[in-house]
């Protein structure tokens, strides 16, 4: 097992209308397989009822026995949200870049660019894990399709207290 689990802070509530726009899929995890040569990745075979998908998840070290989730159902969501700066100030532009990395590019960049956004280590400091080149090549295997629905957008302004609230190891 890796470091002690620390739950994230409770987020602000959203309206039912906002929640209703999120495409949440329930899938049954049929198979959990080790990804050879990786100390983080597992390959999940997930049945969504009308189709199955193979999903790479960086959760190998989260459980003593990762296969214990076989047969269990889980929710799968990727919410993408365009980010726009509140002003042309350097602070707002940098805040927007970090917000985009956190909310969008941490999901897309590994798949399409075989790397995570560099802002992730800026946001999380030493708590952000290192990913091997082999792991990144596995994550970046070609995909058949990516469907994206944008239901919201967000204007970002620099707030130092938000950046300081992320878990960071010293």
Domain residues of the chain, as ranges?
Answer: 25-76, 79-170
Q: What is the pLDDT of residue 1?
A: 44
pTM for the full model? 0.57
Instruction: Write the DSSP string, 4-43.
Output: PP-PPPPPPP--HHHHHTS--EEEEEEEEEE-TT-SS-EE
Q: What is the pLDDT of residue 120?
A: 92
Domain 25-76, second-level architecture:
Beta Barrel (2.40)
Distance between CA atoms of residues 62 and 23, nearest Å: 26
Q: What is the pLDDT of residue 70?
A: 96
For residue 81, give the nearest of 14, 131, 26 by alpha carbon: 14
Q: Return the ∠ at Cα 128 (arms to 116 and 121), rounded to 5°.
A: 60
For residue 167, give the nearest of 102, 123, 103, 105 by alpha carbon: 123
- pLDDT tens-digit profile, the chain (170 residues): 446 767 767 777 777 777 666 667 788 999 999 988 888 889 999 998 888 888 888 888 888 899 999 999 987 776 678 899 999 999 999 999 999 998 889 888 888 889 999 999 988 888 888 889 988 988 887 765 566 656 677 888 888 777 666 666 65
Handedness of CA 106, 107, 108, 110 (dihedral sign): positive
Distance between CA atoms of residues 84 and 78, nearest Å: 19
């Amino acid at each position: 097992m890796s470091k002690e689990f620390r739950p994230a802070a409770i987020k602000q509530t959203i309206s039912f209308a906002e929640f209703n726009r999120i495409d949440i899929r329930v899938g049954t995890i049929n198979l959990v397989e080790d990804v050879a040569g990786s100390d983080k990745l597992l390959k999940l075979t997930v049945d969504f009822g009308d189709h199955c998908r193979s999903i790479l998840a960086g959760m190998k070290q989260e459980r003593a026995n990762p296969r214990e989730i076989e047969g269990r159902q889980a929710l799968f969501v990727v919410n993408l949200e365009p980010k726009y700066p509140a002003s042309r100030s350097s602070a707002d532009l940098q805040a927007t870049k970090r917000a985009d990395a956190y909310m969008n590019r941490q999901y897309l960049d590994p798949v399409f660019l075989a790397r995570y956004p560099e802002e992730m280590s800026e946001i999380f400091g030493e708590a952000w894990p290192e990913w091997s080149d082999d792991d990144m090549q596995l994550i970046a295997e070609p995909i058949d399709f990516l469907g994206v629905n944008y239901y919201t957008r967000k204007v970002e302004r620099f707030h130092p207290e938000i950046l300081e609230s992320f878990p960071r190891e010293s």
